[in-house]
Amino acid sequence: MIPRLLLATRNAGKAREFSLLLQGSGFEVTTLDAEGIEGDVTESGKTFRENACLKAAGYAVDDRFLVVADDSGLEVDALGGAPGPLSARFGGEGATDADKVDLLLSRLQDVPPEARSARFRCVIAIASGRKVVGLCEGVCDGVISLEPRGSGGFGYDPVFYLPELKRTMAELTLEEKNRISHRARAAREAAGVLQRLRRGMQP
């Protein structure tokens, strides 16, 4: 029987990306919603790493699954690294992706282009039996554009400009994004960890 890997996210865009990125790891990938798993783990950590570990260990209570959880977000230098681990909650409860982007741009309205450096950061935790058995991290550097561009991706992708590609993250195809994104870089490292774990499970 192929062992199962539970993606601890309810974000459809993130689940879609991870499903593609973790293909070939030797696991059958599933999600919280697909398994009918209710309830959410509170992300009370102060760092991406703490939140990823909380989520992974919190859902690793069912021995049918190995659990993969991530915490990721945007760090803007002109805002002292904000929104950081609060990226998903930037703008308050119920704020849409467009609301968060508008708030970010309003906070940066007096910041010149040369001072709008930023990065996406992703930390992935892998857990089994409530214990974290792997940690991986990926970073993608860019700058915050003056206005949104592109219709792909989600979150802050429309204002995350990649100078070397001369496009925002939202202007990339999913294949292009999955080569260079913070999540892709962390997931490639995680895939290696999962492959080693899979070999250890084989009789």
**35: number of CA atoms within 13 Å, CB side?**
20
Q: What is the pLDDT of residue 181?
A: 93
Domain count, the chain: 1
> Considering the entire predicted model, what is its pTM?
0.89
- Three-state SS letters, 19-34: HHHCCCCCCEEEECCC
User: What whole-number distance in Å separates Cα of residue 120 and Cα of residue 139?
Assistant: 6
Contact 185, 138 (CB under 8 A): yes
The SS3 assignment for 130 reads coil
Beta strands in 61-130 (DSSP E): 65-76, 117-128
User: What whole-number distance in Å separates Cα of residue 165 and Cα of residue 147?
Assistant: 17
The SS3 assignment for 8 reads coil
Q: Which two tokens stand for residue 147?
A: 């206005």
**Residue 182 is part of which domain span?**
4-201
User: What whole-number distance in Å separates Cα of residue 33 and Cα of residue 71?
Assistant: 18
**Domain CATH for 124:** 3.90.950.10
Q: Which two tokens stand for residue 197?
A: 């774990």
Known catalytic residues are: 71
Q: What is the pLDDT of residue 1?
A: 60
| 10-residue mean pLDDT series, the chain (203 residues) | 86 84 85 90 91 94 88 97 94 92 97 97 94 96 97 94 97 92 93 86 57
